[in-house]
């Protein structure tokens, strides 16, 4: 049998390269790598085809070596990446991609000086390349973490979240859209997000504001100024001598906004205005005082932002693809759907979990007052009330929203605020959490530790669905991992058996989603009696039919709202005599 002709090998090599490219684009770096290596074998045989120019041969060889380096980079085989990128550079010493890939691998290995040489050269070759700029920022951060003095001056690079792939650098061109961390709305790509923008309110507060005039609407979840505000605007417009042009109406509205922050508007109880004022004062006092007592102030420092070492490397690399055609694929590779509508992925590094728990211990020991996250959890703390809101705002824009919008395109199209808190479970305190739905559009829940057994998170169905009270999944938290789900998916925590569990919860809010018709789905008839595990003493009208109310919670009987009357299953019976028309 005669050996294949050089021309045939060449053709086979190119074909394999193309197949490798297709696999890489599909997000299958291992399959791609196998094909590229095979291709390289065929393209680098000693006898080269006579009909192909030397320059073309070198260029193809270099291109496959670069692709091999890209696969290794993606797979975390950093030394191999360095080797192949170096081989490519022998063929083409000024190859920008080779310098970039080798620089990135060298940074991740910790060879910062070598990485700097490569990345600087790559940057000189293509100064505007966003990936190179992101990589340089990561490098500066990594260096800073190792030697803060040496790179102190470079910290302007690190503004906000720039540590994570330079997402927030103010002048970054992001495929036609720039994103500064101060943008009112993050505009996600895709038709769902576009549709949601129609429902953005005309007047909106960037974050939770505690004010009697803000939550008085029919649907308080909208967090909009309510009728006292509009009444006052109309009254002033009527009294105004000016013709009510758009400009004067706007000026009037701003005036009323200003006034409502200074004194109660007509019709608003002075006492509720005072109470809101007091709560806000207390909150600011705690933030100010705790600012002087923090153990790890860097964790609160939104000017510097998030350090890459705090997040799990898998999350960092998925986020690095942001703004590229690989972004969605990278997120899908990161995330596992553990059950319909429930997604899990690596989030914090172990060292950050420890650091943050240490910071929380410090807060608990400070004796400063803290608001509890909800009526069912007495030992957690609202982190927005102790100064962490700006950090989560950055996280929300740069990490949470891009991930959530892949799986929940409508709910996550435009996040605008968040409620972030810690829950804590241990014996003698809160052992578990009643089944519930949250005042959250998309929830991120990350386990920080410590040692524990039990305390699984039980998921049931989506609020209003026929299987809304049927168990769908029981999730065991793992330290550093995040679970993401819609707030309207019923869930609750089983009692803890041993140890202590602390989780960080971010409730992401979207006014646009809540104003959209999609959010107004009506409940359908329940398919049958509920699973006992899905019963909620705070929500359900039939809890007592299946279970004894927990001690001290008997007064919840008769206060439930679920299922709504039109959605009762066949044979439904309410547990309360009042409902049944009894006492």
Residues in touch with Fe ion (CB under 5 A): 438
Q: In a 10 Å sphere around its CB, with 0-12 CB exposed, 13-18 middle and 19+ buried, how is residue 19 labelled?
A: middle
Q: H or E segment at 254?
A: helix 246-262
Of 457, 465, 486, 506, the one binding ligand AKG by CB under 6 A: 457
Residue 482 interacts with ligand AKG (CB under 6 A)? no
Binding-site partner at residue 344 among Fe ion, ligand AKG, none, CB < 5 to 8 Å by type: none
In a 10 Å sphere around its CB, with 0-12 CB exposed, 13-18 middle and 19+ buried, how is residue 280 labelled? middle
Q: Looking at 107, 424, 489, 491, which residue binds ligand AKG (CB under 6 A)? A: 491
Determine if residue 521 is left, alpha or beta; phi over 0 gives left, psi from -120 to 50 gives alpha, anything else beta.
Answer: beta
493, interface contact from ligand AKG, Fe ion, none, CB < 5-8 Å by kind: ligand AKG
**Is residue 397 part of the contact set for ligand AKG (CB under 6 A)?**
no
User: 333 is in the binding site of which of Fe ion, ligand AKG, none (Cβ under 5 to 8 A by kind)?
Assistant: none
Alpha carbon distance 542, 530 (integer Å): 9
* CA 4 from centroid of its chain's CA atoms: 54
Of positions 503, 510, 515, 516, contacts ligand AKG by CB under 6 A:
503
460 binds, among ligand AKG, Fe ion, none (CB under 5 to 8 A by kind): none
Identity of the residue, 105 or 400, whose beta carbon is nearer to Fe ion in the bound complex = 400
* Helix, strand, coil shares, percent, the chain, to 5: 45, 15, 40
CB of 492 to Fe ion, least distance (A): 8
| CB 475, min distance to Fe ion, A | 12
Site string for ligand AKG, 257-296 (x = CB under 6 A): ----------------------------------------
Q: Which is nearer to ligand AKG, 97 or 501 (CB)?
A: 501
DSSP assigned state of 398:
I
Nearest distance from C-beta of residue 471 to ligand AKG, angstroms: 16
CA-CA distance, 486 to 442, in Å (whole number)?
4
Two tokens at 345? 């992925």
Q: How far is the CB of 440 from ligand AKG (least distance, A)?
A: 7
Judged by CB under 6 A, the residue of 268, 493, 534, 535 near ligand AKG is 493
Cα 97 from chain centre: 30
From the CB of 436, what's the least distance to Fe ion, in Å?
Answer: 6
Q: Which residue is nearest to Fe ion (CB)?
A: 438
Q: Select the residue interacting with ligand AKG from 423, 460, 479, 502 (CB under 6 A).
A: 423
Phi, psi of 265 (to 5 degrees): -75, 160
Give min distance, CB of 377 to ligand AKG, in A. Answer: 6
> SS3 sequence, 439-475?
CCCEEEEEEEECCEEECCEEEEEECCCCCCCCCCEEE
CA 290 to chain centre: 26
Q: In the 8-state DSSP scheme, what is residue 491?
A: E
Closer to ligand AKG by CB, 66 or 433: give it: 433
Q: CA 225 to CA 213: how far, in whole Å?
A: 6
226-235 CB burial, b ≥16 within 10 A, e <16? bebbeebbee
Q: Within positions 355 to 374, which residues make up the interface with ligand AKG, using CB under 6 A?
A: 373
Question: Minimum CB separation from Fe ion for residue 438, in Å?
Answer: 4
Q: Residue length, the chain? A: 583
Cβ-based nearer residue to Fe ion, 346 or 438 = 438
* Interface with ligand AKG, residue 467, by CB under 6 A: no
By CB under 6 A, is residue 403 in contact with ligand AKG?
no
Q: Does 509 bind ligand AKG (CB under 6 A)?
A: no
Q: Which of 435, 505, 506, 574 binds ligand AKG (CB under 6 A)?
A: 505
CA 579 to chain centre: 42
The 3-class SS string of 346-391 reads ECECHHHHHHHHHHHHHHHHHCCCCCCCECCECCCEEHHHHCCHHH
CB of 329 or CB of 450, closer to ligand AKG: 450
DSSP state of 177: B
Residue 81 vs 493, nearer CB to ligand AKG: 493
Spatial distance between the Cα atoms of 49 and 166, rounded to a whole number of angstroms: 45
Nearer to ligand AKG, 493 or 574 (CB): 493
Out of 28, 430, 434, 438, the residue judged to bind ligand AKG by CB under 6 A: 438
CB of 484 to ligand AKG, least distance (A): 12
Distance of closest approach, residue 461 Cβ to ligand AKG, in angstroms: 15
- Least Å distance, CB 376 to ligand AKG, is 8
341 makes contact, choosing from Fe ion, ligand AKG, none, with CB < 5 to 8 Å by partner type, with none
> Which CB atom, from 428 or from 570, has the smaller least distance to ligand AKG?
428
Which residues, in sequence order, are CB contacts of 494 under 8 Å at separation 6+? 432, 454, 455, 456, 457, 458, 474
| Residue 423 binds: one of Fe ion, ligand AKG, none (C-beta under 5 to 8 A by kind) | ligand AKG
Residues 6+ apart with CB under 8 A from 574: 541, 542, 545, 580
Instruction: Give the one residue of 433, 442, 511, 562 binding ligand AKG; rule: CB under 6 A.
Output: 433
Other C-beta atoms closer than 10 Å to the C-beta of 204 total 17
Residue ranges that bind ligand AKG, judged by CB under 6 A? 373, 377, 423, 433, 438, 445, 457, 491, 493, 503, 505
């Amino acid at each position: 049998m005669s050996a294949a002709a050089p021309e045939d090998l060449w053709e086979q090599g190119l074909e394999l390269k193309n197949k490798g490219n297709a696999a890489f684009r599909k997000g299958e770096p291992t399959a791609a790598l196998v094909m590229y290596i095979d291709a390289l074998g065929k393209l680098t045989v000693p006898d080269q085809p006579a009909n192909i120019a030397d320059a073309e041969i070198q260029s193809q060889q270099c291109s496959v070596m670069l692709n091999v380096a890209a696969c290794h980079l993606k797979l975390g085989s950093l030394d191999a990446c360095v080797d192949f990128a170096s081989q490519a550079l022998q063929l083409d010493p000024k190859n920008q991609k080779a310098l970039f890939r080798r620089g990135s691998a060298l940074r991740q290995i910790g060879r910062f000086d070598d990485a700097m040489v490569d990345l600087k050269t790559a940057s000189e070759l293509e100064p505007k390349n966003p990936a190179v700029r992101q990589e340089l920022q990561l490098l500066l951060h990594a260096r800073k973490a190792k030697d803060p003095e040496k790179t102190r001056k470079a910290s302007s690079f690190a503004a906000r979240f720039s540590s994570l792939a330079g997402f927030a650098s103010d002048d970054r061109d992001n495929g036609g859209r720039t994103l500064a961390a101060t943008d009112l709305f993050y505009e996600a790509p895709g038709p769902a997000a576009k549709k949601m923008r129609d429902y953005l309110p005309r007047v909106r507060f960037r974050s939770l504001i505690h004010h009697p005039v803000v939550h008085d609407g029919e649907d308080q979840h909208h967090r909009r100024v309510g009728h006292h505000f509009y009444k006052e605007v109309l009254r002033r417009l009527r009294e105004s001598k000016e013709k009510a042009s758009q400009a004067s109406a706007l000026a009037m509205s701003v005036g009323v906004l200003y006034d409502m922050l200074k004194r109660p508007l007509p019709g608003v109880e002075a006492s509720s205005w005072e109470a809101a004022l007091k709560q806000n004062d207390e909150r600011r006092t705690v933030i100010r005082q705790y600012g002087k007592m923090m153990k790890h102030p860097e964790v609160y420092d939104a000017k510097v932002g998030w350090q890459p070492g705090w997040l799990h490397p898998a999350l960092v690399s998925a986020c690095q693809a942001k703004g590229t055609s690989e972004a969605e694929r990278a997120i899908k590779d990161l995330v596992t759907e553990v059950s319909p509508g429930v997604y899990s992925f690596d989030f914090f590094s172990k060292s950050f979990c420890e650091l943050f728990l240490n910071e929380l211990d410090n807060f608990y020991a400070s004796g400063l007052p803290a608001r509890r996250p909800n009526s069912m959890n007495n030992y957690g703390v609202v982190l927005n009330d102790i100064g962490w809101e700006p950090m989560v705002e950055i996280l929300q824009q740069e990490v949470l929203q891009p991930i959530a919008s892949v799986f929940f395109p409508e709910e996550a199209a435009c996040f605008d605020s968040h409620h972030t808190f810690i829950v804590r479970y241990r014996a003698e305190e809160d052992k578990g959490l009643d089944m519930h739905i949250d005042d959250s559009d998309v929830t991120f829940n990350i386990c920080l530790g410590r040692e524990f057994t039990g305390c699984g998170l039980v998921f049931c169905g989506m609020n209003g669905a026929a299987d809304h009270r049927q168990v769908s999944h029981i999730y065991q938290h793992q330290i550093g991992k995040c679970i993401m789900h819609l707030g309207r998916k019923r869930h609750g925590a089983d009692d803890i058996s041993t140890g202590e569990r602390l989780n960080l919860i971010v409730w992401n809010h979207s006014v646009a989603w809540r104003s959209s018709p999609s959010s107004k789905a009506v409940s359908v008839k329940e398919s049958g009696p509920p699973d006992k595990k899905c019963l909620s003493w705070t929500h359900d009208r039939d809890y007592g039919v299946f279970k004894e109310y927990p001690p001290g919670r008997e007064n919840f009987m008769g206060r439930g709202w679920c299922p709504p009357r039109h959605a009762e299953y066949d044979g439904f019976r309410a547990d309360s005599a009042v409902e049944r028309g009894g006492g």
